[in-house]
Amino acid sequence: MRFRPRKKSAIILIVITGILIPVLLIITHIIDNEPYFIIIKNNEDLEFWSSSGNGTGDNPYIIEGHHIRVPRNDDEEDYDAPCIPEKSIISISGVSKSFIIQNNIFEVKGGCESQSIIKISDISVPFVIRNNKLRGGYYAHAFSLNNINGKDSIVSNNRIYSASTLLNNVHNISFIGNQFYTRGNAFGVSTCQSSNVQFIQNYCFLYSVSFRECSHILIDNNIFENDEIYSGWDLLYMRENEYCTITNNTFIRGGLDWRVFTGFYPTAIVFNNIVNGKPYGFFFNQTNVVINTIKYGQIILVKCSKTTITEQFIRDVSQPLLIENCIDSTVTNSKFLDCKWVGIDIQYSTNTIVSECEIEDNHYGVKGVNSHGISVNYCVFKDLQWGIQVQDCSGFIEKDNMFENVASEVTIW
């Protein structure tokens, strides 16, 4: 059985005392007999659950003022807590009217990977989700958005705790001014096969953001932060995306990971990003680049030739230096510390010299794939799983390197 919100008039209170007006503008109604689930499958359901509005662009239906907490057993650390019967606290699909979801508190204790707090799917109308507090538990999704043409929809000023966000085949939507928190680096925003998605002025703490097979993406003026425990893991991941703009972002104890997909860089606009207090270095299709006076927090070289990198000190990023499709690159007298993936990642490149560098506390020290003429000399490798690993490479030279606490010093595949 569903319980319709019981609305209480604000007009009487306004007559008695004008002092209550600001409060009543936020709490527009009080919910009695609160349900666990709000399931909306058509326009009639949308009207049923709304407190006001008629569904037009100028006067959308409003769903507000709910405080729903899905119960679990009392042990928050119990991963075997049963899943709820419904997949989502609030689910909206198949509607043709505009709506706003605002000023709600939705909490899930425990939870399952397939469960969502707010799920919206199969619609082509503008909507707004704003000023809500969403708390998940153990891999529940705060938002699950699927097959949507949002027509300039906005998700803004929400606070999300311990819950991921999934976007699949979503178009024309902006995430603005949201705060994402979690207790470990296991949650994040995952966006696939989507376009015209904007991610602006959000704060992400221990919350990674990834885009894959997307186009026309704007990532601007966000703060991405890890704590000390998870430092070194990157916080923004780009995979097979076209026409992406990444500007004015701040990364703290993490960075931006491209992970080698040549062909998508030419359409990227990347500038004015800060990684661990230093500029993010993105170099595409340049010749005779000398990187020594400016100290970078992360460096990406793509289709560059005759490049020299020296006197760099980079730490707390997963991928401090990527050299992809480059010719005649030299890396010398530099340190790469506390980088959780690859210290120096060499992909599809020719004639790369790495000398007198220190690489420590990574998964890989130097990794080469499908490259020719990699030379690694007089370097120090400490606390690594793989010191030097080359795969499908030719002309590899390794000389006078030091290895300390390295499980596999030199591996050739």
Could you read off the pLDDT of 381-402 as tens digits, one per residue? 999 999 999 999 999 999 999 9
Number of domains into which the chain is organized? 1
Instruction: Determine, yes or no, domain membership for 370.
Output: no
Instruction: Determine, yes or no, domain membership for 64.
Output: yes
pLDDT of residue 187: 67
pLDDT of residue 266: 86
Query: pLDDT tens across 328-371, in order?
Result: 999 999 999 998 899 999 999 999 999 999 999 989 999 999 99
Cα–Cα distance, 215 to 194 (Å, whole number):
7
Domain that holds residue 5: 1-220
Cα–Cα distance, 352 to 329 (Å, whole number):
5
Instruction: Determine, yes or no, domain membership for 98.
Output: yes
Residue 165's contacts (CB-CB under 8 Å, 6 or more residues apart) are 141, 142, 143, 144, 180, 188, 189, 190
Over residues 170-176, mean pLDDT: 98
pLDDT of residue 107: 85
Instruction: Determine, yes or no, domain membership for 148.
Output: yes
Residue 117 has pLDDT above 70, yes or no: yes
Over residues 93-119, mean pLDDT: 85
Over residues 265-281, mean pLDDT: 94
Query: pLDDT tens across 213-231, in order?
Result: 999 999 999 999 998 888 8
The answer to whether the CB of 123 falls within 8 A of the CB of 92 is yes
Instruction: Determine, yes or no, domain membership for 402.
Output: no
pLDDT of residue 88: 79
pLDDT of residue 87: 61
Instruction: Determine, yes or no, domain membership for 408.
Output: no
Instruction: Determine, yes or no, domain membership for 166.
Output: yes
Residue 264 identity (one-letter amino acid): F
Instruction: Determine, yes or no, domain membership for 399.
Output: no
Query: pLDDT tens across 11-51, in order?
Result: 333 333 343 333 333 333 334 445 678 999 999 999 999 99
Residue 260 has pLDDT above 60, yes or no: no
CA R_g for the chain: 25
Q: Percent of the chain, pLDDT > 70?
A: 83
Mean pLDDT of the chain, nearest integer:
86
One-letter-per-residue 3-state SS of 254-309:
CCEECCCCCCCHHHCEEECCEECCEEEEEEECCECCEECCCCCCEEEEECCEEEEE
Task: Please indicate whether residue 13 or residue 325 has the higher confidence score (pLDDT).
Answer: 325
